C-alpha cells in the first residue's frame, strides 16, 4: 500500500481523550485548527485505557465521533494503535507484559514504552485492540494512515525474551554451538559455550565482553521489534483496513536498526526535535537535515515528519523558545529533504502530568492571538501555496553510509579510543561537506543498493558485512568516486578482525594499507598539511584529532601529510586510481573545515555538479523532482541575508525573485529537468 498525498499534511498529535469532560473544547479546537490551516490530526497514540477500559470491553464511540466531526471539517486522521502504553488492568492481570531490564529486575507498571516484545499475551492483546480499531475505521474516508505504536525502542531481558534469543541464535548458527563459539571467539577467558541453553543476553552483572553476543543481541532486539510491528500490522490488515502504515522513528536512535524495520511499513516517518541552543541554528538544522535524508532514504520516497515542536519542548536541558521564523524554516527544511508532512506534538497542550509545559499549537491560554499560533498558521498557509510539490521525489547522486550495526560494533569494542571514537561526528562532518558542495545525499546503511551513485562517502566503516567491500570495489572500478576514512574495514559482521591487512578487501582500491592507528587525547591535535601542487588544489592546513591512521602506500598518491609528531610527513590524505574511478582515503579525524573544503574540491574535480552554482556558505540546498520539474529549496538558518544566483530559466516558487534569501527563511525555485545539460 503506497502512501500518496496531493497536498502537504499539516497537523499533529491531538489528545481529545484528555479532555472528555469538556465537550466545548472539540468545537473550539476545530475552529482553531481550521484557522491554523491544519488538515490532519494524529489520534489515539496513548488512548488504550479509554478504548478498552476493562478487558474485552471496548468503547470506540468517542473516537468515532471525533474522527467523523474532524473529517466533516476537512481534517483527516492518522490513527494510532495504542500499544505504546498499556492500561493498568492489562499489566495487573498479565505481569509478563512488563519488561525486565538488563540487570534482570522486573519493571513495575508505569510510564510508557514499557512492554515485552516477545510476550504472547501482549501481542495477543495488541492484536485484539488493533483489530477492533481497524474494524471500526477500515472504510472511513477520514483515515489517512495508521501510526503503529509510538517510538519503538528499548529491550526486555525476561525469560520469554531469553528463550526467543536462544532460538534465534540456534537458527542463525544452524544449531551448531561450535560455529557460534568460533564466531564469538569464546576460547578467550574460557567462555566456550557447550549448549545454546547457556546463553544469556548481555548484562552488567554477567557477560559483557563478547562483542559477537552483544551484536546478536542488538540484532535480535530489532528482529523482535520487527515481528511485533508485523503482528500489529497484520491485525489491521486482517480486519480489512488497507490504509498505509507507518512507525515514528527517533533522532540518532541506535537502539534499533531502522533499516531492517522498513520492510514492515508503507511510509517512513520520524520525530524531529532539534536543539536550538548550544550551537548555531544552521548546525541545529543540519543535524536534523541529515536525519531527514536518512529517513527518506529508508524507503527511497517521501516521508512524514510525524512530530516536531511548535516552540519549546519540556524535556531538553533547557526549554528554549523557537525564535521567530524557526517553526516555518524548520518545517520547510523537512519538506526540502523529502517530507510530505509537517506535524507537531501537540495540537493542544494538556493541563497536567509530564507534558503540561510542552509546546503546543494551542496553549493553556487557549486562543489564536499568540505568536506560536500565528507562526504555525503561516507555515500551514505556505504549505498550501506550494502543495504542487507534495509527492515529489529526491534523486541523490551521493550516498553517505551511516550504519547502525557499524556503530554498535565500533562503540562497544575496547580499542583505540575508549573515551569516544566520534563516529556520529565523523558522519556529520562528511554530511556537512557534501551539503557544502550543494548536493542532495541519501544517508544509508551499508546494505543499501549503491549502484546508482556517483559518489559514495564512508566515514569510519569499521565493520564490513554482506560483501559491502565488493559493492564499493565495483563502484570505483566502474568509474565512481569513493571517499573512505581511517578505522575502516577492520572487522566482519561478528566483530572478528580481518587478517591480512586493512581496510579489508579494499587495499588495492585505495592503493594503501593501514599499518597502525594512533589515538590522541582530547587535548592533543595533529595537523594535515597540503603537499605542493596537489591535484585538489588544497592550500590550507587543517587540524586532526582523536585518531591518526598511519598508512603504507602502494599505488596511492599523497595529497596531504601530517604536520606534527613522529609521523610528520606521512600521508594524511591520499588518492588512488582504480579501474575507471578514483578512491580517496582520509587518514585522520579532520576538523569540520577540512570536510567543508575538501569534499567540494573532490566533487568539483569529478564534475559532480551542485544544485546551485557558487553556493554561499552555510546554506542548505536540496531538490525534489516531479514530472519534468525540479524544485530546488535553499534554506538559510543564519541571521544574515544571503543571495544565490538563480539558474537561467528558473522560476521562484517561494521567496524573493532576485535570489535574496532573508535571515531564517527558505527560497524555492523550480526549473525544468529537460533543460539540464
Ligand atoms: C516524543 C513522543 C511524544 C511526545 C514528544 C514530546 O516524540 O513520541 O509522545 O512525548 O516526544 O516531545
Ligand atoms: Zn521480554
DSSP assignments along 561-584, one per residue: EE-SSTTTTSEEEEEEEETTEEEE
Nearest CA residue ID for atom 7, ligand 1: 271
Taking 50 as the pLDDT cut, the residues of the chain under it are none
**Which numbered atom of ligand 1 lies nearest the CA of 273?**
12
Q: Are 81 and 46 in contact (CB under 8 A)?
A: no
**Which numbered atom of ligand 1 lies nearest the CA of 315?**
12
Nearest CA residue ID for atom 5, ligand 1: 345
Residue spans of beta strands (DSSP E) within 525-661: 526-530, 542-553, 557-562, 571-578, 581-586, 588-590, 619-626, 629-636, 642-643, 651-654, 660-661
Position 82 scores a pLDDT of 98
> End of a domain among 573, 605, 637?
605
Cα torsion angle, 114, 117, 123, 129, sign: positive
Is 480 contained in some domain? yes
> End of a domain among 552, 572, 605?
605
Is 572 contained in some domain? yes
Q: Indicate which residue of 52, 216, 307, 469 is catalytic.
A: 307
Q: Are 573 and 486 in contact (CB under 8 A)?
A: no
Q: Which of the listed residues 43, 307, 358 should we mutate to test ligand 1's pocket, taking the one with most ligand atoms within 8 A of CB? A: 307
Tell me how far the alpha carbon of residue 152 lies from the centroid of ligand 2, in angstroms. Answer: 14
Q: Are 475 and 501 in contact (CB under 8 A)?
A: no
Q: Which of the listed residues 81, 150, 320 should we mutate to test ligand 1's pocket, taking the one with most ligand atoms within 8 A of CB? A: 150
Is 283 contained in some domain? no
Please check whether residues 625 and 546 belong to one and the same domain.
Answer: no
pTM: 0.98
Tell me how far the alpha carbon of residue 379 lies from the centroid of ligand 1, in angstroms. Answer: 21
C-alpha cell belonging to residue 119: 510476550
Nearest CA residue ID for atom 3, ligand 1: 345
C-alpha cell belonging to residue 476: 570505483
**Which numbered atom of ligand 1 lies nearest the CA of 150?**
8
Q: Are 181 and 196 in contact (CB under 8 A)?
A: no
Helices 326-336 and 371-385, packing angle to 10 deg = 30
* 526 three-class SS: strand
Q: Are 288 and 251 in contact (CB under 8 A)?
A: yes
Q: Which of the listed residues 80, 247, 355 should we mutate to test ligand 1's pocket, taking the one with most ligand atoms within 8 A of CB? A: 355
**Which numbered atom of ligand 1 lies nearest the CA of 309?**
12
Is 155 contained in some domain? no
What is the distance in angstroms between the CA of the first residue and the CA of the last residue of the chain? 36
- What are the Cα distances from residue 226, in Å, to 149, 263, 298, 411, 452? 12, 9, 15, 24, 28
Q: Which of the listed residues 271, 276, 295, 311 should we mutate to test ligand 1's pocket, taking the one with most ligand atoms within 8 A of CB? A: 271
Position 675 scores a pLDDT of 62
CB atoms within 10 A of CB 592: 17
Tell me how far the alpha carbon of residue 120 lies from the centroid of ligand 2, in angstroms. Answer: 10
Ligand 1, CB within 6 Å, residue ranges: 150-151, 271, 273, 307, 313, 345, 355, 358
Please check whether residues 577 and 623 belong to one and the same domain.
Answer: no
Is 69 contained in some domain? no
Please check whether residues 462 and 581 belong to one and the same domain.
Answer: yes
| Phi–psi pair at 54, nearest 5 degrees | -140, 165
| Phi–psi pair at 635, nearest 5 degrees | -100, 130
Tell me how far the alpha carbon of residue 393 lies from the centroid of ligand 1, in angstroms. Answer: 28
Is 402 contained in some domain? yes
Please check whether residues 558 and 627 belong to one and the same domain.
Answer: no
Please check whether residues 563 and 640 belong to one and the same domain.
Answer: no
Tell me how far the alpha carbon of residue 134 lies from the centroid of ligand 2, in angstroms. Answer: 27
Which ligand places an atom closest to the C-alpha of 270?
Answer: 1
Burial of 478 (0-12, 13-18, 19+ CB in 10 A): exposed
Domain residues for the domain of 527 are 398-605
Q: Which of 545, 539, 668, 563 is nearest to 612 (CA)?
A: 668
Tell me how far the alpha carbon of residue 177 lies from the centroid of ligand 2, in angstroms. Answer: 24
Tell me how far the alpha carbon of residue 255 lies from the centroid of ligand 2, in angstroms. Answer: 16
Please check whether residues 554 and 652 belong to one and the same domain.
Answer: no
Tell me how far the alpha carbon of residue 217 lies from the centroid of ligand 2, in angstroms. Answer: 13
* 444 three-class SS: strand
CB atoms within 10 A of CB 371: 12
Dist. CA 327–CA 196, nearest whole Å? 53
Dist. CA 56–CA 301, nearest whole Å? 39
Is 184 contained in some domain? no
Q: Which of the listed residues 345, 349, 354, 357 should we mutate to test ligand 1's pocket, taking the one with most ligand atoms within 8 A of CB? A: 345
Please check whether residues 454 and 576 belong to one and the same domain.
Answer: yes
Position 676 scores a pLDDT of 61
List the CATH number of the domain containing 647: 2.60.40.1180
Which ligand places an atom closest to the C-alpha of 269?
Answer: 1
Position 355 scores a pLDDT of 97
The strands making up 341-344's β-sheet, listed across from edge to edge, are: 245-246, 143-147, 76-80, 40-43, 9-14, 341-344
| Phi–psi pair at 80, nearest 5 degrees | -95, 150
Residue spans of beta strands (DSSP E) within 128-279: 143-147, 245-246, 248-250, 269-271
Active site residue 355: no
Q: What's the domain count of the chain?
A: 2
**Which numbered atom of ligand 1 lies nearest the CA of 250?**
7
Active site residue 151: yes
Which ligand places an atom closest to the C-alpha of 247?
Answer: 1
Position 3 scores a pLDDT of 84
Nearest CA residue ID for atom 12, ligand 1: 313
Nearest CA residue ID for atom 10, ligand 1: 355
DSSP 264: G
Q: Indicate which residue of 136, 151, 232, 670 is catalytic.
A: 151
- What are the Cα distances from residue 29, in Å, to 26, 37, 367? 5, 12, 9
Please check whether residues 570 and 650 belong to one and the same domain.
Answer: no
Tell me how far the alpha carbon of residue 96 lies from the centroid of ligand 2, in angstroms. Answer: 7
Q: Are 443 and 406 in contact (CB under 8 A)?
A: no
Q: Are 583 and 476 in contact (CB under 8 A)?
A: yes
Nearest CA residue ID for atom 4, ligand 1: 345
Which ligand places an atom closest to the C-alpha of 311?
Answer: 1
| Phi–psi pair at 108, nearest 5 degrees | -85, 170
Nearest CA residue ID for atom 6, ligand 1: 345
Which ligand places an atom closest to the C-alpha of 345?
Answer: 1
Dist. CA 585–CA 556, nearest whole Å? 9
The string of pLDDT tens digits covering residues 644-659 is 999 999 999 999 999 9
> End of a domain among 581, 605, 629?
605
Please check whether residues 419 and 551 belong to one and the same domain.
Answer: yes
List the CATH number of the domain containing 559: 3.40.50.880
Beta bridge partners, 458, equal 484
- What are the Cα distances from residue 126, in Å, to 87, 235, 335? 11, 8, 33
**Which numbered atom of ligand 1 lies nearest the CA of 151?**
8
Q: Indicate the Cα dihedral angle 593, 596, 601, 603, nearest 10°.
A: 150
Please check whether residues 519 and 567 belong to one and the same domain.
Answer: yes
**Which numbered atom of ligand 1 lies nearest the CA of 248?**
8
Is 629 contained in some domain? yes
Position 6 scores a pLDDT of 87
Please check whether residues 581 and 467 belong to one and the same domain.
Answer: yes
Please check whether residues 588 and 659 belong to one and the same domain.
Answer: no
Burial of 497 (0-12, 13-18, 19+ CB in 10 A): exposed
Amino acid at each position: 500500500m503506497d502512501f500518496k498525498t496531493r497536498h502537504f499534511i499539516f497537523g499533529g498529535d491531538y489528545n481529545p481523550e484528555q479532555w472528555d469532560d469538556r465537550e466545548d473544547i472539540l468545537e473550539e479546537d476545530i475552529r482553531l485548527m481550521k484557522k491554523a490551516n491544519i488538515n490532519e490530526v494524529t489520534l489515539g497514540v496513548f488512548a488504550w485505557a479509554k478504548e478498552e477500559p476493562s478487558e474485552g470491553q471496548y468503547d470506540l464511540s468517542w473516537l468515532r465521533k471525533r474522527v467523523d466531526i474532524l473529517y466533516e471539517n476537512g481534517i483527516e486522521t492518522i490513527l494510532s494503535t495504542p500499544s505504546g502504553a498499556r492500561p493498568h488492568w492489562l499489566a495487573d492481570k498479565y505481569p509478563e507484559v512488563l519488561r525486565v531490564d538488563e540487570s534482570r529486575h522486573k519493571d513495575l507498571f508505569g510510564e510508557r514504552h514499557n512492554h515485552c516484545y516477545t510476550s504472547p499475551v501482549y501481542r495477543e492483546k495488541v492484536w485484539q485492540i488493533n483489530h477492533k480499531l481497524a474494524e471500526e475505521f477500515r472504510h472511513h474516508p477520514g483515515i489517512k494512515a495508521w501510526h503503529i505504536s509510538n517510538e519503538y525502542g528499548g529491550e526486555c531481558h525476561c525469560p520469554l525474551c531469553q528463550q526467543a534469543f536462544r532460538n534465534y541464535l540456534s537458527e542463525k548458527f544452524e544449531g551448531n554451538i561450535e560455529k557460534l563459539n568460533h564466531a564469538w571467539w569464546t576460547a578467550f577467558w574460557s567462555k566456550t559455550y557447550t549448549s545454546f541453553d547457556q546463553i544469556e543476553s548481555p548484562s552488567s552483572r554477567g557477560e559483557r565482553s563478547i562483542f559477537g553476543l552483544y551484536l546478536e543481541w542488538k540484532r535480535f532486539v530489532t528482529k523482535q521489534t520487527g515481528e511485533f510491528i508485523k503482528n500489529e500490522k497484520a491485525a489491521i490488515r486482517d480486519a480489512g483496513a488497507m490504509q498505509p502504515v507507518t512507525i515514528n522513528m527517533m533522532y540518532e536512535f541506535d537502539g534499533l536498526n531502522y533499516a531492517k524495520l522498513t520492510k514492515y511499513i508503507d511510509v517512513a516517518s520520524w520525530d524531529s526535535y532539534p536543539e536550538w541552543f548550544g550551537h548555531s541554528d544552521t548546525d541545529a538544522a543540519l543535524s536534523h537535515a541529515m536525519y531527514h535524508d536518512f529517513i527518506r532514504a529508508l524507503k527511497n520516497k517521501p516521508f512524514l515528519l510525524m512530530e516536531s515542536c511548535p516552540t519549546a519542548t519540556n524535556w531538553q536541558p533547557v526549554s528554549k523558545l523557537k525564535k521567530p521564523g524557526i517553526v516555518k524554516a524548520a518545517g520547510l527544511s523537512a519538506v526540502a529533504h523529502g517530507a510530505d508532512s509537517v506535524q507537531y506534538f501537540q495540537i493542544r497542550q494538556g493541563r497536567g502530568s509530564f507534558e503540561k509545559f510542552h509546546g503546543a499549537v494551542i496553549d493553556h491560554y487557549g486562543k489564536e492571538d499568540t505568536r506560536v499560533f500565528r507562526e504555525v498558521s503561516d507555515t500551514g498557509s505556505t504549505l498550501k501555496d506550494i502543495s504542487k510539490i507534495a509527492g515529489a521525489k529526491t534523486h541523490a547522486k551521493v550516498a553517505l553510509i551511516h550504519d547502525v550495526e557499524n556503530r554498535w560494533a565500533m562503540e562497544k569494542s575496547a580499542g583505540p579510543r575508549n573515551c569516544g571514537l566520534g563516529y556520529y561526528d565523523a558522519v556529520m562532518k562528511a554530511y556537512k561537506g557534501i551539503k557544502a558542495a550543494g548536493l542532495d545525499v541519501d544517508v544509508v546503511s551499508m546494505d543499501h543498493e549503491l549502484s546508482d551513485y556517483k559518489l559514495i562517502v564512508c566515514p569510519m566503516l569499521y565493520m564490513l558485512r554482506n560483501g559491502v567491500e565488493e559493492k564499493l570495489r565495483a563502484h570505483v572500478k566502474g568509474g565512481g568516486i569513493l571517499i573512505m576514512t581511517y578505522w575502516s574495514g577492520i572487522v566482519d559482521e561478528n566483530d572478528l578482525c580481518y587478517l591480512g591487512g586493512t581496510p579489508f578487501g579494499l587495499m588495492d582500491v585505495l592503493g594503501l594499507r593501514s599499518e597502525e592507528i594512533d589515538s590522541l587525547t582530547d587535548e592533543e591535535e595533529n595537523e594535515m598539511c597540503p603537499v605542493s601542487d596537489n591535484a585538489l588544489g588544497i592550500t590550507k592546513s587543517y587540524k586532526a584529532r582523536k585518531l591518526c591512521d598511519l598508512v603504507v602506500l602502494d599505488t596511492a598518491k599523497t595529497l596531504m601529510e601530517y604536520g606534527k609528531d613522529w609521523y610528520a610527513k606521512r600521508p594524511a590524505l591520499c588518492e588512488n586510481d582504480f579501474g575507471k574511478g578514483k578512491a580517496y582515503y582520509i587518514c585522520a579525524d579532520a576538523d569540520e573545515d577540512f570536510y567543508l573544503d575538501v569534499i567540494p574540491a573532490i566533487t568539483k574535480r569529478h564534475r559532480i555538479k551542485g544544485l546551485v552554482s557558487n553556493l554561499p556558505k552555510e546554506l542548505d540546498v536540496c531538490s525534489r523532482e516531479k514530472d519534468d520539474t525540479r524544485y530546488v529549496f535553499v534554506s538559510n538558518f543564519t541571521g544574515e541575508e544571503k543571495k544565490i544566483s538563480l539558474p537561467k530559466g528558473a522560476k521562484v516558487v517561494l521567496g524573493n525573485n532576485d535570489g535574496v534569501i532573508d535571515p531564517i527563511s527558505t527560497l524555492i525555485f523550480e526549473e525544468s529537468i529537460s533543460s539540464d545539460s
